[in-house]
Amino acid sequence: MFSRILIANRGEIALRIIRAAKSLGIESVCVYSTADAHGPWLQQADQAICIGDAPSADSYLRIDRIISAAEITNSEAIHPGYGFLAENAHFAEVCKDSGFAFIGPSSEAMALLGDKVSCKNLARKTGTPVFPGTDDAIEDTEEAVEVAQSIGYPVIVKAAAGGGGRGMRIARDETQLREGIESARQEAAAAFGDGRVYIEKFLEQARHFEVQVIGDSHGNAVHLFERDCTSQRRHQKLIEEAPAPGVDRKKRDQVVESAAALIRRANYSGAATVEFLMDHDQNFFMLEVNTRVQVEHPVTEMITGIDVVAEQIRVASGEPLSVKQSDISVNGHAIECRINAEDPDRGFMPQAGLIEDWRPPGGPGVRLDSHATVGYRIPPNYDSMIGKLIVHGPDRATAIARMRCALDEFTVGPIRTTIPLHRRLMDYQPFIDARFDIHYVERWLEEPAAQA
Ligand code: MV4
């Protein structure tokens, strides 16, 4: 096992990684930008090194400085967290070539699953359900038009290098398809330096379902069941829960097992998430694989009792997974609300500034993953998420009741947060009944009842 790791991230995930390291008897080194010099998480680390100015391009994205910090501090491994360099295969390779273990997959496995075309082809081999569409990137527009005719409109054009909603075009007829292929190609070439696009059947109304998986370097791979991430706005998740409510057990078990088979086939070591859409009849279709730890991993930890971040560190050091599939089961229900410093009444405008009041909730089954404190000044340079409130209970109704109490207790000021919005959403019947689709929050926000 490592004795010291470097954390190439900030905020709540840096703190989460410090905690996991400490629990394994490992020292942690944080790198930080000048904007984060007073970041409360740095006090929990064993060492902290400033690597540059506030813009991420001058600090958290500077591979050279992160590697130098790892060298200076005699760190043995580097944890990228999420965002920044977490899904950058070049960074994973530089870490390895510089003699540091990357706490994540090999750059090869990352590239294989990060490319949506090669990932989909691998999924077809492992029985992971995918949308019908072109098997490979489109070379000939006429062939794509034929495929669209055979699967039927609407179809969606996606970038092989895309993700998170970038570089997509919906086409409802042949004219839109021809235009969509061209414009998606150009956007993808400009944004990712890779203009390859493919098409698949477009699903109008769906739930977002994702499977937590972890593999080790001994050929083992397990799933930690699923999460529902349907409550989102503009590709930003608001609420995540585990397990996914109302899903047929047999269908669920097939999908989660197919997700583990996919990463096993990729010789994948580390944590990953296999994302799916689920239609009205509970048919599943894979979207993409995220090759990192995700913001919403705590709901999985609450229902399985497994420390996902500690497991990431274990497998990166060469140890086998500490759990077998037959040891893993679902206990109760967990819900996470992302607490963002944003004003929902003003278009979710990010709120920077001093936190003068911070009274976190408590009680049975309540967990708060946050780096914020009274006196913490939120810098304007980074993501607006200042914490995650997670509740666990024996069933979904109890978890919702606990989340209502916790949100009522949770007082933050004077900066605006998404806490009151979450509280109202906990009383919204479609959420309570889990009769929702990926656009329901956006529709709800148009209603007067959603307003403060
Ligand atoms: C889709 C889709 C419908 N049909 N693919 C958006 C982000 C990227 N991960 C994939 N996305 C979608 N792919 C097919 N074939 C609808 C979306 C989508 C979406 C997916 C998950 C969560 C929120 C979403 C919001 C809009 C569109």
pLDDT tens-place string over residues 223-244: 999 999 999 999 999 999 999 9
Cβ neighbours of residue 448 closer than 8 Å, sequence gap 6 or more: none
Report phi then psi at 267, rounded to 5.
55, 45
Closest residue by CA, ligand 1 atom 6: 165
Task: Please name the fold of domain 207-451.
Answer: D-amino Acid Aminotransferase; Chain A, domain 1 (3.30.470)
Ligand 1 atom at shortest distance from the alpha carbon of 232: 23
Q: Residue 176 to residues 138, 168, 181, 184: CA-CA distances in angstroms?
A: 16, 12, 8, 11
The architecture that CATH gives domain 4-103 is 3-Layer(aba) Sandwich (3.40)
Distance from residue 219's CA to the centre of ligand 1 (Å): 31
Closest residue by CA, ligand 1 atom 10: 165
**Residue limits of CATH 3.30.1490.20 in the chain:** 128-201
Q: State the pLDDT at residue 383.
A: 98
Which pLDDT tens digit goes with each residue over 135-148? Answer: 899 999 999 999 99
Low-confidence ranges of the chain (pLDDT < 50): none
Q: State the pLDDT at residue 452.
A: 67
Q: State the pLDDT at residue 208.
A: 98
Which pLDDT tens digit goes with each residue over 329-367? Answer: 999 999 999 999 999 999 999 999 999 999 999 999 999
CA count, 13 A, side-chain hemisphere, 237 = 21
Q: State the pLDDT at residue 309.
A: 99
CA count, 13 A, side-chain hemisphere, 64 = 3
**Residue limits of CATH 3.30.470.20 in the chain:** 207-451
Cα(222)–Cα(231) distance, rounded to whole angstroms? 26
Q: State the pLDDT at residue 165.
A: 76
Distance from residue 165's CA to the centre of ligand 1 (Å): 7
CB 116 within 8 A of CB 160: yes
Ligand 1 atom at shortest distance from the alpha carbon of 200: 15
Q: Tell me, yes or no, if 292 is annotated catalytic.
A: yes
Residues with Cβ within 6 A of ligand 1?
Answer: 131, 156, 163-165, 200-203, 208, 232, 235, 277, 287-288, 438
Distance from residue 396's CA to the centre of ligand 1 (Å): 26
Closest residue by CA, ligand 1 atom 9: 164
Among 207, 292, 338, 396, the one annotated catalytic: 292
Yes or no: is domain 128-201 CATH 3.30.1490.20?
A: yes
Distance from residue 202's CA to the centre of ligand 1 (Å): 9
Closest residue by CA, ligand 1 atom 7: 165
**Residue limits of CATH 3.40.50.20 in the chain:** 4-103
